Amino acid sequence: MEKLSPMSFGIAGNGKVYRNLPVARLVEKALERGEGVLAENGALAVRTGKYTGRSPNDKFFVDTPAIHDTVSWGKVNVPISKEKYDAIKGKMLSYLQGKELFVFDGFGGADPKYTRRFRIVNELASQNLFIHQLLIRPTAEQLEDYTPDYTLIVAPGFLCIPEVDGTNSEAAILVNLEEHEVLIAGSQYSGEIKKSVFTIMNYILPAEGILPMHCSANIGKDGDTAVFFGLSGTGKTTLSADPNRALIGDDEHGWTDEGVFNIEGGCYAKCIGLEQEKEPEIYGAIRFGSVMENVILDEAGHPDYFDGSLTENTRVSYPVDFIPSAAIPGVGGLPKTVIFLTADAFGVLPPISRLDKDAAMYHFVSGYTSKLAGTERGIKEPVTTFSTLFGEPFFPRPASVYAQMLGEKLDETGAQVFLVNTGWFGGKAGTVPRMKLKYTRAMVTAAIAGQLNDVEYTRDPIFNLNIPKTCPNVPDEMLDPRAAWPDKDAYDAAARELAAAFQANFAKKYPDMPENIVKAGPCAK
């Protein structure tokens, strides 16, 4: 196996470099360096400091002539000059001089035809353990002749100077698509690493005819594949970890002409409110080798999954094979069912509705949810958000590139599409409990099994959605949101408010969308 030195990454000096340490050694190093503590369940518990979620205002793309016309520039994909990037990189490499470095060489993409090699250089052993568990782990033989396609250098202790470096804060995520590099500075939140890998894959896969997706995926005993789109906190991880189906992956996938493949080799699950009875697969996956972020421990080291005092965005990372029903390797056939997940804090969207192709395209590019507290810095309560493709911050190319590909995939496969509201029912958030997981699971199970294909539907006049009148193992009264509100006028007002938000977002972002797709959205004035 190649022995790496700091000079391998342009870092002067003779600091120690550890390459692909085994899990036990990474845990040992993290404890030795005071980066975290072992919880009673064996997981490494760390705190990420100021940054307990992604920092979207601190992400930049290096704007060069080679990639300029391929990126959708704007509020999400913000440019930074090559000169600023080079200056920050030089200072970061100087900062790392003489420090212990932890390197993980791994893979993104479980289908070997589309795999990319990612080298992650970490200042922290705990973050190296995180990405070791999140990406696809190579064999010793694969490491012998390993050459990275992309390199990520992660230094949370290096702080940018905004007025000098051209950043918005001391933190920065700098994506250099032309030079196949990413720099992550100032943030210890490990989600920035995995999402940087995802961003790169989302940029390169469409050129190969592959639709990259912010989704989870699982597969039944008969080989039927289902994919679950949704923003963080809408239930992708929870709903795809089904003991009766094999988990392909929980967050990032590619859809090829042959099927679906996991981009990752691990899972990154929210911990807030986690209960063994409700989510036994995830609960059982939190053990030695897992990394818990910002989970509060009591004096005996027991995690309190209901304590959100540091953040509501408490997280755990673990290898996908910590889930007993994991599909290894993470590949499946062509999807038969597509689920769009949303957590509606208004409590007005139906718990489940079926979408035709035009409606599917409308809701795919809309990407509605109520962004939940803690997922990003500054979010203290649910906020209505529209995130194109259910993951706008991670898709560098124009939205039309990905949307057109989805439409083609639906035409080719005939997959059934459903919109599932995992949020609130019978009232707004704060006035009623969130939708019971057992009912959401029952609806998803029925959709995947084809049990909703031939039932009677009713048309929602405000949202222009088809709502099933019955669903196995779900009370009929749990399917009609308006009927569940005590005050019907209040429901109508809240529903029209959300419908108007849909329309305003669509008109602003997609003024040239075909009329058939525009008409498939909410129609209330």
Q: What share of the chain is helix, strand, coil (3-state, %, to 5)?
A: 30, 25, 45
Q: Find the catalytic residue in 48, 190, 216, 237.
A: 237
Average pLDDT score, the chain? 95
- What's the CATH number of domain 211-265+329-518, 3.40.50.1460, 3.90.420.10, 3.40.640.10, 3.90.228.20? 3.90.228.20
- Supply the DSSP string of 71-115, one letter for each residue: S--SSSS-EE-HHHHHHHHHHHHHHTTTS-EEEEEEEE-SSTTS-
Look up 54 and say whether it is catalytic. yes
Q: Find the catalytic residue in 126, 232, 353, 375.
A: 232
The pLDDT of residue 175: 98
What are the residue ranges of CATH 3.90.228.20 in the chain?
A: 211-265+329-518
The pLDDT of residue 524: 67
CA dihedral 362, 364, 370, 371 (to 10 degrees): -140
- Residue range 6-35+54-208, CATH number: 3.40.449.10
Among 70, 69, 334, 339, smallest CA distance to 202 is for 70
The pLDDT of residue 232: 80
Whether omega before 329 lies within 30 degrees of 0, making that bond cis, reads yes
DSSP 424: B
Q: Give per-residue pLDDT as tens, 241-260.
A: 888 999 999 999 999 999 99
The pLDDT of residue 12: 81
Higher pLDDT, 208 or 6: 208
pLDDT class of 13 with cuts at 50, 70, 90: confident
Q: Give per-residue pLDDT as tens, 339-388.
A: 999 999 999 999 999 999 999 999 999 999 987 555 556 555 667 899 99
Q: Find the catalytic residue in 91, 214, 363, 397.
A: 214
Look up 482 and say whether it is catalytic. no
**Across the chain, which distance is largest between two alpha carbons, in Å?**
71
- For residue 381, the SS3 value is coil
DSSP 520: T
Look up 369 and say whether it is catalytic. no
Q: Give per-residue pLDDT as tens, 471-497.
A: 999 999 999 999 999 999 999 999 999
Q: Give per-residue pLDDT as tens, 399-416.
A: 999 999 999 999 999 999
Question: In angstroms, what CA-CA distances link 434 with 11, 251, 259, 321, 442?
Answer: 50, 22, 34, 30, 16
| Contact call for residues 114 and 205 (beta carbons, < 8 A) | yes
Among 116, 104, 111, 260, smallest CA distance to 201 is for 116
Look up 214 and say whether it is catalytic. yes
Residue 314 confidence (pLDDT) above 60: yes
Among 317, 288, 319, smallest CA distance to 110 is for 319
**What would the mean pLDDT of 415-427 be, rounded to a whole number?**
96
- For residue 216, the SS3 value is strand
Look up 236 and say whether it is catalytic. yes
- For residue 226, the SS3 value is strand
**What would the mean pLDDT of 206-218 be, rounded to a whole number?**
96
Among 56, 57, 34, smallest CA distance to 45 is for 34
The pLDDT of residue 495: 96
Q: Find the catalytic residue in 105, 224, 251, 460.
A: 251
The pLDDT of residue 89: 98
pLDDT class of 430 with cuts at 50, 70, 90: confident
**What would the mean pLDDT of 277-288 be, rounded to a whole number?**
95
The β-bridge partners of 291 are 44, 317
Range from 3-7, 301-305, 434-438 carrying the lowest mean pLDDT: 3-7
The pLDDT of residue 103: 98
The pLDDT of residue 370: 86
Look up 216 and say whether it is catalytic. no
**What would the mean pLDDT of 264-287 be, rounded to a whole number?**
95
Q: Give per-residue pLDDT as tens, 40-74.
A: 999 999 999 999 999 999 999 999 999 999 999 99
Q: Give per-residue pLDDT as tens, 91-137.
A: 999 999 999 999 999 999 999 999 999 999 999 999 999 999 999 99
Q: Find the catalytic residue in 19, 84, 119, 195.
A: 195
Residue 161 confidence (pLDDT) above 80: yes
The pLDDT of residue 233: 82
If residue 121 lies in a helix (H) or strand (E), which one and from where to where? strand 116-122
Q: Find the catalytic residue in 29, 245, 315, 371.
A: 315
pLDDT class of 279 with cuts at 50, 70, 90: very high
pLDDT class of 21 with cuts at 50, 70, 90: very high
pLDDT class of 214 with cuts at 50, 70, 90: very high
What are the residue ranges of CATH 3.40.449.10 in the chain?
A: 6-35+54-208
Percent of the chain with pLDDT over 90: 90
